[in-house]
Structure 1
């Protein structure tokens, strides 16, 4: 394997977008809502795992010489495999832990192979938007075909995937991310208003139907930070920011009651304050007795649950499965990406990276996924690709002078 930072690849093959989409398919998950046609979980797992194996094989075919570029993010993600394997080797959570380690290794290996085309351009942003917009299209089709199945009572009437078992937080996450990225592309004039509206408007509708508070807050905060990074260099960003502040202020005053009802989702103030019961699971996890080895390396990769209940916090999930070592590595990943983003000069790529890092950081409080192959790691991978510096072409070598052009006195 060679670190190829000096040779610029001649364009990005279209098949790289296929690899990125397959990585996204692998992170869709196999557990979620009831669908119109019941899909066996084993079949979904075969499809998602097959997508990852295919992504790795295709990336290897596109990069047969194993040319990679240095990436602190992917290096730290590789180091995360160490506590994962050490803790999973005890088999306390079954052989599935080792399988998840293998899945994470394939995921990281595919990212290494793709680093050859990480050059700070917006190519992977477009792949990201297309990939998750396609997932949202399946949600919209399911809503149109079977609205009762798409908005079931057991989820409180929130939107779910009726064709593929997607949960409301997943749909909200995909919608929020592509809305934010598309808005930034519009501000940077990298897409037309028609194309932007085609993505943003239906995504906003789906986001509203999911009643996903974390995704909404993450999108708003991430967009605010990203646009602020462009304010000094972009007149369009300044205009958009000014109009957004005015519209949000007026909307908050006029529709305060409706916004409050949307955020509460019919819950009591007590249930809302303890984060829909999450706090009870967190307290039980932190108070559970652990050995020194479990504190340092965790109990092994699992399904991000504790006593049968979802943890819904990336930091506690990493602590439970990969220990304090994993928490340190994950924190380092976010700090490195955030530090690099702050050091880069203002640009649209930097703004997109800031949006993604901010969104993931906020979502990590109520969503799990930073310690295993997940959409959140894919978002951070995109941020790393946006922050990568363009490869420098090799200097032109001085051609050798033919002997017949050398003066006779110089031949002596």
Structure 2
């Protein structure tokens, strides 16, 4: 006799597939939200917060060897001032809502970053005073330690101002100016000298042939000013008004605000040429030492190949010039000072990828002092004169680092969701293959 009996299947074991799937779905939702915020810019705008601690005033004046784009929560320089800045930076890729009209300050003795509204690219149209305590830009003159800005004289109300160079004692400022609606432009409309104490303006050149960043340089004692005029470089003695025009190599400009040699006898000029052997970017720049009295070559020449532009900031204690080398952004055409249509890009941001601060040596082998992951930079004269480097610390909350972190988070979350989903499907299939009840057959007599 057959006796059919039904025996219940063993109870199911608790699994972790469902909780893991729930966690993955939650993480995926968070990742999707972060990704959406990143794409729409909500996460990557400048949203200043108060600093976590007061600005560090104990460090020695020094140049940070590494400079990065300011983070999204970098404090506002106006609301939370620092005593002085070593470096001013500019860039147009810092934040999702554009950063062209922001400036970044890095403390003179520590890596205290600040951001502020700032008209003009660092070094090209906005410059730090020699002691790093003031910033001149298209917006006026900022007292960095006080967070207070003084406007320019009323005579410049309807003109666009680009600050070029401070006198060594900080009492005078050279600027270029042009009508506000003069867009686009290829060269400054005029060159002028401002007495920052009384606001007196002295017109220097009604139609300067220079490009912002390469227009003027004060001698080390502040007594003379060099600027381009009529295809030559004019040396103006400020006290007497005496002028001397010296010849320059073809296509050359004053090399930057730090163009005078430290003894005041020489002047650095810079000129570019197209170069088929200069690698990915076919331009070579040569910085040449000229006699400030005759224009004859009177010292070393420095060659930089494959860079977009070169600008001399000042001098290192070694007696060698310090220059900024600009790397071209992808697709930037080879450009020289006298190339119509593209020359204005040399003073801008969109054509630059990154910059390096170099101690130049005669020839083409130069020592890197600092690297900046941004498009333009200026360094205070006193920082260069001190000749001290510090490691530098890039902000952790910069857009590139946040974007990289979000990308990793999204990728890892997606991988986790796929793995747990696959496991859940496998578990479900396994349960379907196993009957819910089993039949036992016993023989009885």
- Asked if Structure 1 and Structure 2 have the same fold, meaning a TM-score greater than 0.5 normalized by the shorter chain, the answer is no
Structure showing greater radius of gyration is 2
Question: TM-score, normalising length from structure 2?
Answer: 0.26
- More helix as a share of residues: 1
- More strand as a share of residues: 2
Structure of higher RCO (CA pairs closer than 8 Å, 6+ residues apart): 1
